[in-house]
């Protein structure tokens, strides 16, 4: 967690305590929900980035030669909204695979469309048919879950999907 994220978490906790002390249960409940959602967002984003890095590392141990470039304060667009989060780019020869994941941080950034907590893009340089848009939701169990968004359809993202993206990067 970055220093800014830690400061934000502390500010939310203090605001929640003040609202509770002032008898403003509605505000305290909102701030509690915000803290829980932020935890789900961070957990989902970290999992996605780390899982791709693990799979690329495994491919490298088998001789793939993938170069990795990580960005911890990555800003990207999703529709008219601006997301802030993490990104990683994998390079193999002339091919590149970029994973970017985040959520709006301030009101002028916009919103995550589709009822999600965060969003992500999986982008293959020069191969747009392989690109995917993801949406992070709270699963019925209460844990974060990534969905692949295709027009009006949503399907769960699996490790096999991630493996296919890494395989597409390294195939000739």
What is the residue extent of each domain of the chain? 45-170
Residue 61: the pLDDT is 96
Amino acid 133: pLDDT:
96
pLDDT at 67 over 90: yes
Give the pLDDT confidence score for residue 66 in this predicted structure: 97
Mean pLDDT lowest among 5-19, 117-131, 134-148: 5-19
- Biggest CA-to-CA distance, the chain: 64
**Six-digit token string for 161:** 């999907």
Q: Which residues contact 56 (CB under 8 A, 6 or more apart)?
A: 64, 66, 68, 90, 166
H-run or E-run covering 166: helix 159-170
Please compute the mean of the pLDDT values over residues 96-124 and round it to a whole number.
93
What confidence score (pLDDT) does residue 151 get?
80
Please tell me the predicted confidence (pLDDT) of residue 18: 77
- Cα 87 to Cα 43: distance, rounded to the nearest angstrom: 14
Q: How many residues can be counted in the chain?
A: 172
Which pLDDT does position 39 carry in this prediction? 86
Q: Over 60: is that where the pLDDT of 2 sits?
A: no
The verdict on pTM exceeding 0.85 is no
Q: What percent of the chain has pLDDT over 70?
A: 87
């Amino acid at each position: 967690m970055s220093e800014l994220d830690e400061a934000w978490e502390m500010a939310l906790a203090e605001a929640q305590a003040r609202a509770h002390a002032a008898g403003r249960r509605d505000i305290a409940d909102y701030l509690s929900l915000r803290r829980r959602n932020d935890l789900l967002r961070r957990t989902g984003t970290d999992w996605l980035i780390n899982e791709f890095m693990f799979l690329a590392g495994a491919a490298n141990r088998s001789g793939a030669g993938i170069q990795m470039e990580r960005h911890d304060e990555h800003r990207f667009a999703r529709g008219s909204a601006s997301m802030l989060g993490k990104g990683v780019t994998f390079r193999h020869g002339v091919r590149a695979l970029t994973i970017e994941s985040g959520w709006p941080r301030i009101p002028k950034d916009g919103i995550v469309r589709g009822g999600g907590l965060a969003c992500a893009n999986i982008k293959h340089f020069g191969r747009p048919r392989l690109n995917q848009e993801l949406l992070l939701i709270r699963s019925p169990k209460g844990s974060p879950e990534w969905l692949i968004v295709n027009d009006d359809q949503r399907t769960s993202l699996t490790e096999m999907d991630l493996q296919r993206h890494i395989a597409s990067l390294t195939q000739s």
